[in-house]
Amino acid sequence: MTGYIIRRMLQFIPVVIAATLIVYAMVFLMPGDPIRALSGDRPMSPQVLETLREQYNLNDPFLVQYAKYMWGVFTAGDFGTTFQGRPVLDIIQQGLPITVTLALVALSFQIVIGVIAGVLAAVYKDSFLDRMVQVSLVIVVAVPTLAIGFLLQLTFGLNLEWFPIAGTREGLVSYVLPGITLGAVSTGIVARMLRSELVEALQSDYVRTATAKGMRRSRVVVRHGLRNSLIPVVTFLGADLATMLGGTVVVETIFNLTGLGGQIFRSIQAQENTVVVGIVTLFVLFYVVLNLVVDLLYAAIDPRIRYD
Amino acid sequence: MSADSSQVPTTQDPATEQTTATNPWLPAVLSLIIPGLGQMAVLKQREFGLKLLIAWLVIAVGPTMVMMPLRISGTDVNRGAVTLADTVALAGIGIGVLIAVFAAVTAYRTAEPVSEAVAAERAADAAEQPALSFQNVGVSFNTEFGTVDAVKGVSFDVMPGEVVAVVGESGSGKSVTSAAAMGLIPQNGTVTGRAFLNGQETTTMDAAQLRRLRGSEVSMVFQEPMTALNPVLKVSDQLVEAMQVHGVAFGKDALAKGVELLELVGIPDAKQRIHEYPHQFSGGQRQRIVIAIAISCNPSMIIADEPTTALDVTVQAEILDLLRRLKHEIDTGILLITHNMGVVADMADRVVVMFQGQVVESGSSEEILLQPEHPYTRRLLDAMPTLHQKGDVQGVSAKDRREAAQPTTAPEQETVIEGKNLALAYRNNRGKPVRVVEDVSFAVPKGEILGLVGESGSGKSTIAKAVLGLLDVDEGELLIRGRNLPALKGAERKVARREIGVVFQDPAASLDPRFPIGDIITEPMVVHKVGSPKDRKARAAELLEAVKLPAGVINRFPHELSGGQRQRISIARALSLSPSILIADEPTSALDVSVQARVLEMFAELQEQYAFACLFVSHDLAVVDQLADQIMVLEKGRVVEQGHKEQILRDPQMGYTKRLLAAAPVPDPRQQDERRAARQQLWEAQGLTAT
């Protein structure tokens, strides 16, 4: 098991290098000169220009720039500074809690609502309830995130005044609407996935054995059906949590949250390359670690899966 | 929470708000823990206490939690709406429900001994009362094609301690009948007539009453031990829950009883192994575990639905021995559903023969098996392939007749397929080869059949796979008409593969459901670019005639055909390129005996007509006896014994072959009694413990 984890960690290295290299290349090969953009319309003396370029290693060849940057990240945790001189780490530290909270709220919404809807639909297969669940899931998946966000703001924020409309000032409660918006699409997918898996599991021989023991239907479903149906759902949720970090761009904008998603969007516009690369590097690390966690979760769910 | 504290500005952190004077969480959490611990202490049942804890959490604390955000951040209107009073009220409701549940459970528990007294009373007159009784039971299903009567008025009894076998082919309604007694009929089915279990009518019971019977008074053992246990739960969990459901034993007691049960059914090291998962046990052991679960609540009736069909013959013999022993020890009635007349002869006191939903004949097993009256019973018995005994000359196979007609099979016949010191390996997930077959050599001349015999895991199918090129040859040579298949590359390999046809075990899974039959049969020709579309169509028609199917099926789809017909299509497909080698991997194991008999007959005729060399993989010695010329007996990837059929089957030299032969049951109760005794002697002589 430990050996397996170490092997997987070693596999991270090429993945992280490849992913960050691509991002680095894309960002730095973008047209336009960030230093000139910094000064706007005013002319800038060649000396100042040169000093700034030197300071941000902009005169080095691309690969050297990249190597210097990565060296800084992994030896000193130094993600560089913005062109205004603010440390990128500072920006990350400010935005990360917001984005992570948002993602976790969305994830819990997916798990709770998705699993409940999926189980109900599977247990009462082909009933009115099942149809209702299926139809509402299709609607949720089909309506764009943007529309869901505005709809929630309007209904629960503006009209009912149950939840704050925007910002994070009211703590966890302010994440409810953004979280639902962010998790809505995946909730539909989780529920449909779980439904089909569970329907299959409920027809299996071991569920018949459990029924023949005289167990209550509800207990049979939860104890014998559900756990066997969770593997694909866990796979999906793991991959989805990473995708959600990308989805935060839209949601953070709608709800005016100052998380990393909004930050990355603004930084691309402002050609703040170090910030973009810093955040993306973080996301890549997050993604690979999450994948490992998902794989380890498999083994926890299904004892037949062994890593050695 | 008081109205004052709810006036706190919304910007304040909820955590600090919690610390203000009236904290609703404290009473909620306390009221949660105390009853939970109380339950554990009073009932000494950890699991039950935990269940109450969770119920309590949902009922009382859940709403409180839902209200929290409203209190913290709601508008002026609803901020005052949820107060401490609400929390207390909810907690009050929760406690009320809790007490009600506790009272109900206690009442139920104390009511148990009364029913035991009734049971004792029942046991007194059990002698004349059947354990299970069917009176004119009928089952019909509403399907999209209209109403189908699966069972049409079936009546028979099973007395305590008696084994009644229900025999019939697929679709005869034998499984549906037993499911009707347990109330396990799917929703689209309707049951008529009456079924009684120990005098209680099960056909009129509601779900809760049926649940109380299932597992406690009647339990089931199913066909497929590999899937009958939940793969993600430990054996201990699955055994213990069976007892807890019916209140037989709880916690440590249940675990201890579980260990006892596993010892009873012959699982070695039960104390340690009970904590393992199902996949860590072999198929036979899993069936023993299923049986242990079935007997855990001392049922008066066990319904065993094809309990040994998926098992190897030697394991089948052991499981049947186990069931026989348990029947004596705990005196249960057994309803044995099977299609294997040998199993019937071995186990049953009485036999009920079912055909198309009706009982056509019933009586003692000697009557039915030795003097069958109904033509269907006779047909069933005739269809069963028999393993001829030493000096038994009455059964002469088609092959023997052919040999008699052509006195000598020419020794100069070309050797079509030859294996020389083959070692075969699977690659594990790190790409390292793991040898599963070692040092196997064989040679099959044109027109001969080599039977590969052995139990699961013996490597017989692995050899078939290697010949198909689906598996790497780790060592040795595999010659197809003199050319070494593993060494061939690309186009040459493809040409060599044209010589090989294949028929797999499961006719339902090996035909693509979206292909019409004509396309299925001619697909090998398309792959190898043989003939024009017109030629292919002609070939398909020709092959359909050869496998004795009407020409009209050419445009049908696989699901429109029966299992036997589908297997004929598989054979037609295998022959479409006129291969010189045919690989048949358990081709008739999934078929009913009467269908199997017809397919085997056809197979023999085709073999004569096309003169292919054949590797015939089978676990059924009787089938191999009927078809094969040579036999190779395999055990754990190695050859045990190899030679001419007569020598292997009539005069086996090795202990393993003897065991295989001794374990195969014959459809004659008296003979089977002798064979069983002889087998048990053999087992002991070879130092194996008989269960």
Average pLDDT for B575-594: 87
Q: Which of residues 339-368 of B touch A (CB under 8 A)?
A: none
Å between A74 CA and nearest CA of chain B = 31
Using 50, 70 and 90 to split pLDDT, how confident is the model at A165? Answer: confident
Distance CA A232, CA A32 (A): 44
Q: What is the mean pLDDT of residues B337-346?
A: 87
Same domain, B239 and B371: yes
> What pLDDT is attached to residue B392?
46
Q: What is the pLDDT of residues B124-155, one digit of tens each?
A: 555 568 888 898 889 888 877 778 888 888 89
A61 touches B at CB < 8 Å? no
B451 confidence band (pLDDT: 50, 70, 90): very high
For residue B84, pLDDT beyond 50: yes
Q: How far apart are CA B8 and CA B30, in angstroms?
A: 26
Q: Is the pLDDT of residue B524 over 50?
A: yes
Q: Residue B241 and residue A205: Cβ atoms within 8 Å?
A: no
**Of B247, B245, B157, B140, residue with least CA distance to B197:** B157
Please state, in angstroms and rounded to a whole number, the distance separating the CA atoms of residues A220 and A226.
9
One domain, residues B378 and B408:
no
Which pair of structure tokens corresponds to residue B95?
Answer: 């406690």
pLDDT tens, position by position, A187-196: 888 998 999 9
Provide the CATH number for the domain around residue B357.
Answer: 3.40.50.300
Q: In what order do the strands lie in the sheet with B415-427?
A: B433-445, B415-427, B473-480, B483-484
B10 to chain A: which residues are within 8 Å by CB? 169-170
User: What is the C-alpha to C-alpha distance for residues B568 and A53, in angstroms, rounded to an integer?
Assistant: 79
In this complex, the residue of B14, B222, B279 whose CB is nearest that of residue A205 is B222
By Cβ distance, the residue of B69, B70, B245 closest to A213 is B245
- Put simply, whether A287 touches B (Cβ < 8 Å) is no
pLDDT of residue B77: 44
In a domain, B64, yes or no: yes
Q: Is B72 on the interface with A (CB under 8 A)?
A: yes
Q: CA–CA separation, B428 vs B413, rounded Å?
A: 40
Residue A304 touches chain B, beta carbons under 8 Å: yes
Cα distance from A75 to chain B (closest Cα, Å)? 33
Chain mean pLDDT for chain B? 79
Domain-embedded: residue A304: no
Is the predicted pLDDT of residue B20 greater than 60, yes or no?
A: no
Which range is most confident: A197-201, B322-326, B667-671? A197-201
Residue B632 has pLDDT above 90, yes or no: yes
Query: Domain total for chain A?
Result: 1
Cβ-defined contact of A209 to B69 (cutoff 8 Å): no
pLDDT band at residue B7 under the 50/70/90 scheme: very low
Q: Which residues contact B686 (CB under 8 A, 6 or more apart)?
A: B655, B659
pLDDT tens, position by position, B461-519: 888 888 888 887 888 888 888 888 888 888 888 888 888 999 988 887 888 889 999 99
* Statement: residue B292 has pLDDT above 80: yes
Q: Average per-residue pLDDT in chain A?
A: 82
What confidence category does residue B78 fall into, taking pLDDT thresholds of 50, 70 and 90? very low
Predicted confidence band of residue B36 (pLDDT cuts 50, 70, 90): low
- Its domain, for residue B652, covers 402-657
Does A240 reside within a domain?
Answer: yes
- Contact yes or no for A162 and B241 at CB 8 A: no
* Closest residue, chain A, to B215 (C-alpha): A213
Residues B248 and B311 reside in one and the same domain? yes
* Least confident range of A50-59, B548-557, B560-569, B621-630: A50-59
Rg from Cα positions in chain A = 24
- Choose the closest CB to B222 out of A162, A174, A209: A209
From chain A, the residues in CB contact with B13 under 8 A are 171
Range list of H helices, B57-141: 62-73, 76-79, 84-124
Look at residue B466 and tell me if it is in a domain: yes
Nearest residue on chain A to B244, judged by CA atoms?
A215
| A79 belongs to a structural domain | no
Q: Which has the higher per-residue pLDDT, A233 or B96?
A: A233
Distances from the Cα of B471 to the Cαs of B71, B137, B325, B463, B475, in angstroms?
67, 51, 43, 9, 12
Instruction: CATH number of the domain at A157, please.
Output: 1.10.3720.10
The answer for residues whose C-beta is within 8 angstroms of residue A21's C-beta and 6 or more apart is: A66
Query: Are residues B445 and B377 part of one domain?
Result: no
pLDDT at B53: 62
Residue B59's pLDDT is: 57
Residues of A in contact with B232 (CB under 8 A): 227-228, 301-304
A299 lies in some domain: no
Tell me the mean pLDDT in the region A275-302: 83
Pairing of strands B581-585, B333-338: unpaired
Question: Are B50 and B99 within one domain?
Answer: yes
Does any CB of chain A come closer than 8 Å to the CB of residue B51? Answer: no
B643 located within any domain:
yes
Both B76 and B18 in one domain: the answer is: yes
The mean per-residue pLDDT over the stretch B60-83 comes to 52
Q: Smallest Cβ distance to A212: which of B182, B227, B230?
A: B182
On chain B, the residues whose CB falls within 8 A of the CB of A222 are none
The per-residue pLDDT for B2 is: 41
Interchain CB distance below 8 Å, A170 and B214: no
Q: Which residue, B308, B330, B332, B311, is CA-closest to B221? A: B308
Q: Do residues A242 and A290 touch, judged by C-beta distance below 8 A?
A: yes
B227 and B342 share one domain: yes
In the prediction, which pLDDT does A32 show? 66
* Least CB–CB distance from B74: residue in A162, A210, A213: A162
Helix axes A145-152, A227-254, angle to 10 degrees: 70
- Is A198 among the domain residues? yes
Q: Compute the distance between CA of residue B565 and CA of residue B553 in angstroms, rounded to an integer.
A: 10
Tell me, yes or no, whether B668 lies in a domain: no
pLDDT of residue B485: 82
Does a structural domain hold residue B395? no
Distance CA A141, CA B580 (A): 56
- DSSP tag of B389: P
Taking residues B587-606, report their average pLDDT. Answer: 86
B350 with B412, same domain?
no
Contact of B248 with chain A, judged by CB distance below 8 Å, is answered with no
Same domain, B432 and B314: no
Whether B141 and B210 map to the same domain: the answer is yes
Q: Is the pLDDT of residue B294 over 60?
A: yes
A78 occurs within a structural domain: no
Residue B80 in this model has a pLDDT that exceeds 90: no
pLDDT, tens digit, for every residue of B8-18? 444 444 444 44
pLDDT at B371 over 70: yes
Per-residue pLDDT, A91: 85
Domain ranges, residue A134: 92-261
pLDDT in the model for residue B390: 54
Q: Which of A46-50, B276-280, B391-395 has the lowest mean pLDDT?
A: B391-395
Is residue B252 pLDDT above 80, yes or no?
A: yes
A13 located within any domain:
no
Is pLDDT above 70 for B60?
A: no
Would an 8 Å CB–CB cutoff place B11 in contact with chain A?
yes
Give the C-alpha separation, A99 to A106, whole Å: 10
Please check whether residues B118 and B139 belong to one and the same domain. no
φ, ψ for residue B434, nearest 5 deg:
-120, 115
Share of chain B above pLDDT 90, in %: 9
Q: Do B72 and A213 touch (CB under 8 A)?
A: no
A92 vs A59, higher pLDDT:
A92
The Cα–Cα gap between A18 and B104 comes to 64
Q: Average pLDDT in the A264-289 region?
A: 82
pLDDT of residue B393: 44
CB contact under 8 A, B231 and A228: yes
* pLDDT tier, B58 (very low <50, low <70, confident <90, very high otherwise): low
Q: Quick one: average pLDDT of B170-199? A: 84
Which residue, B99, B123, B147, sits at the end of a domain?
Answer: B123
> Quick check: is A225 in a domain?
yes
Write the CA distances from B533 to B24, B552, B632, integer angstroms.
81, 18, 41
Any A CB within 8 A of B245 CB: yes
What was the pLDDT predicted at B452? 92
Has residue B664 been placed in a domain? no
Based on the fold, state whether residues B90 and B155 are members of the same structural domain. Answer: no
pLDDT at A307: 73
> Are the beta carbons of A205 and B220 separated by less than 8 Å?
no
Residue B475 located in a structural domain:
yes
Number of domains into which chain B is organized: 3
pLDDT digits (tens, 9 = 90+) for B295-335: 888 888 899 988 888 788 888 888 888 888 888 888 888 99
